[in-house]
Amino acid sequence: MTHNVLVVDDEPKLCDLLASALSQNEITVFTAGNGLHALKVLEAEDIDLVISDWRMPGMDGPQLLAEIKHRFPQLPVIVMTAYSTVKNAVQSMRNGAFDYIAKPFDIDELDITVSKALQFRDILKDNQRMRAELDEHKQIDSLVGDSPSFRQVLQAIDSVRESNATILLTGESGTGKEMVARAIHKHGNRAGKPFVAVNCAAIPEGLLESEMFGHRKGAFTGAVADRVGRFQQADKGTLFLDEIGEMPLALQAKILRALQERVIEPVGDPRERKVDVRVIAATNKNLLDAVANKEFREDLYYRLNVFPIPLPALRERVEDIAPLARHFAHTLGGAAGKRFSGFSPEALNAMANYSWPGNIRELQNCVERATIVASGTVIEDDDLPAYLFASRPSDGSVPLVENNGVPTDLEAALAEVEKTYILAALQQSNGVQAAAAQLIGISERSFWYRLKKLGIHVDKIVR
């Protein structure tokens, strides 16, 4: 494993000597001539170890050590000094230094001390990674839901989790594609290895190749050091490519080669590197339509679609809304120091009758808001956002439809449906009427007329 070490000393020759000695051990060495320069390097690069002189002009070693412990508390620091007194050594250790070495130092002694510090850093990183995965995704131990459509998803996960097959997760935005990907990884044969997630739509196109495959120092302007790409970071583990449908065509051929041959080439480096990665891709687009429109490579589509898992929208698994809502109330309420015994029947009915265009993500946001405003241990319908009740008749009753599903007042029933869609469009557009009109495919003038006809006041309804 390659490590990044920062050497801080006001003597350039000593920096060069240390860089030469350490670079023999798969270590990339950065140098800084003073403490302030060192802090700038630490902010820009992923440094694993700092070796700093004790006495320097401006910000000296003790001051730099204190600043590092404040900003980067888990970063090990080795202090070196020509004034090797017991007092200095003890003081540096008390202030948080990992160890110290005396100048002039022995190279073998330096190697041993650096090796121990880097091993310590690796252990801390592994612990941080595992804690982060547990804290951020504590709900993946049991995916919540028992509806027929979601049981099919669970059965698919169970079938594929122990294999290395490439998986394509499809479904609307917010249906939990990343959560399913993490569940497959955690309960599969690569559990305990890295899980690396990449949002292909969130990274600028010019940086995406470097992000995926890494780059060599000097490969382009701004490439001041070697960088390991996401494929190498996920080696022996799982690479989750979210929003794969947004991948630029120019890069799709390289992704295809990486999947087929399990080799990559960092930008600016002609040498191939083998990778052992299980790929899970996800999209909310129809990739077959994208293939037909020449927006997505057909060969890449079939390489990704080895084991497809479609995720149902929340409106297609209504029976899962209540257990999901209780799950979110328990986890989110606990994080806020509140305990909830459940939801009132009216609140559960309101959530069951809403269409949830934002799916599970929208439900989670809705419940989080409710846990904040709720004053009791039971979440009431008044604690839920107002837009959930947009289709409810103004008098609180439901007289428009009989038990057989036939409207008793067609005009009124149609008006309620129209009002529901308009309110949903306003909610999604944050109250911008032109954008809401575009969402439902009508002109601004027609939209304004419907607002007036239905008595919708935008400033009162959209929040």
pLDDT at residue 406 is higher than 60: no
pLDDT at residue 73 is higher than 60: yes
Q: What does the pLDDT average to over 373-398?
A: 74
Q: Do β-strands 77-81 and 99-102 pair in parallel, antiparallel, or remain unpaired?
A: parallel
| Distances 61 to 14, 18, 410, 419 between C-alpha atoms, Å | 15, 17, 80, 67
Q: How confident is the model at residue 453 (pLDDT cuts 50, 70, 90)?
A: confident
Instruction: Find out if CATH 3.40.190.80 is the number for domain 150-312.
Output: no
Tokens representing 451 are 């607002």
Q: What does the pLDDT average to over 248-265?
A: 92
Neighbouring C-beta atoms of residue 48, cutoff 10 Å: 22
pLDDT at 217: 78
* Token pair 């880097």: residue: 118
pLDDT at 413: 65
pLDDT at 322: 93
pLDDT at 319: 92
Contact partners, residue 233, CB within 8 Å, separation at least 6: 194, 196
State how far the Cα of 162 lies from the Cα of 278, in Å rounded to an integer: 11
Terminal CA-CA length for the chain: 51
| Distances 344 to 304, 314, 351, 374, 377 between C-alpha atoms, Å | 44, 20, 11, 12, 10
Neighbouring C-beta atoms of residue 162, cutoff 10 Å: 12
* Token pair 């989110």: residue: 332
Q: How confident is the model at residue 139 (pLDDT cuts 50, 70, 90)?
A: very low
Annotation: CATH topology of 316-389: Helicase, Ruva Protein; domain 3 (1.10.8)
**CATH topology identical between 3-133 and 316-389:** no
Tokens representing 6 are 């920062």
Per residue in 41-63, pLDDT (tens digit) is 998 888 999 999 888 888 888 88
pLDDT at residue 395 is higher than 50: no
Question: Which of the two residues, 298 and 54, has the higher pLDDT score?
Answer: 298
The architecture of the domain spanning 3-133 is: 3-Layer(aba) Sandwich (3.40)
The mean pLDDT of the chain is 83
Task: State the amino acid at position 238 in one-letter form.
Answer: T
pLDDT at residue 301 is higher than 90: yes
The architecture of the domain spanning 392-463 is: Orthogonal Bundle (1.10)
Return the ∠ at Cα 111 (arms to 5 and 40), rounded to 5°.
15
Sequence ranges of the domains in the chain: 3-133, 150-312, 316-389, 392-463
Per residue in 193-244, pLDDT (tens digit) is 999 999 998 888 878 888 899 877 777 766 667 788 899 999 999 999 999 9
pTM of the full structure: 0.58
